[in-house]
């Protein structure tokens, strides 16, 4: 654009864009063999599992056939929707799925879930992410994003979880 003269582009100088051209970082190479070794047969918990990010994490993880996947979210309708979407994939892959309508701020609920399942890996995606709305809701944002993250991280450690992946914080 900087080289346009009088606002008219020189068509011969245009080039095809690749997605990498738009990134401010290098391309990430995904090692699916390594991921398969890491996730196959494991018990994996995803918090915020019915949200836009968490549900995509779940969709990607089930490709590696964990033994079980535990989904936690505080929103009932989105949890119902993801359950309906994944039901056939879970059955055909012999993956046990457990759906919990709970909050990461509820330590009693988290302790019960962690005591019920021997969880190997946690993907923590439960966070309120829409900052313009949260600016006027600081108390609930801090409770969920800060205290909820602290709770699930501490309980993961107490229950011997091997890997804790923090997906988003705010």
C-alpha to C-alpha distance for 128 and 75, rounded to whole angstroms: 12
* Prediction pTM value: 0.83
CB-based contact 166:126 (threshold 8 Å): no
Question: pLDDT by residue (tens digit) across 76-120?
Answer: 999 999 999 998 888 788 899 999 999 999 999 999 999 999 999
Q: What percent of the chain lies above the pLDDT cut of 90?
A: 64
Which tokens in the block code for residue 65? 């056939």
Matching residue, tokens 């039901």: 87
**Least confident segment among 19-28, 54-63, 139-148, 158-167:** 19-28
Closest C-alpha among 113, 117, 58 to residue 90 = 58
Rounded Cα–Cα distance for residues 57 and 139 (Å): 27
- Provide the pairing of β-strand 96-101 with 68-73: parallel
């Amino acid at each position: 654009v900087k080289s346009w003269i009088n606002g008219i582009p020189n068509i011969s100088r245009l080039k095809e864009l690749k997605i990498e051209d738009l990134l401010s970082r290098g391309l990430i190479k995904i090692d699916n063999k390594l991921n398969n070794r890491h996730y196959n047969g494991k018990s994996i918990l995803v918090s915020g599992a019915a949200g836009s990010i968490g549900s995509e994490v779940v969709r990607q993880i089930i490709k590696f056939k964990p033994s079980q996947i535990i989904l936690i979210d505080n929103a009932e309708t989105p949890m119902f929707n993801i359950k309906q979407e994944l039901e056939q994939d879970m059955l055909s892959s012999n993956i046990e799925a457990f759906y919990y309508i709970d909050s990461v701020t509820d330590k009693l609920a988290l302790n019960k879930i962690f005591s019920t399942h021997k969880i190997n890996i946690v993907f923590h995606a439960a966070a309120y992410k829409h900052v313009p709305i949260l600016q006027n809701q600081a108390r609930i944002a801090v409770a969920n994003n800060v205290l909820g993250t602290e709770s699930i991280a501490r309980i993961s450690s107490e229950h011997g979880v091997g890997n804790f992946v923090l997906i988003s914080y705010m």
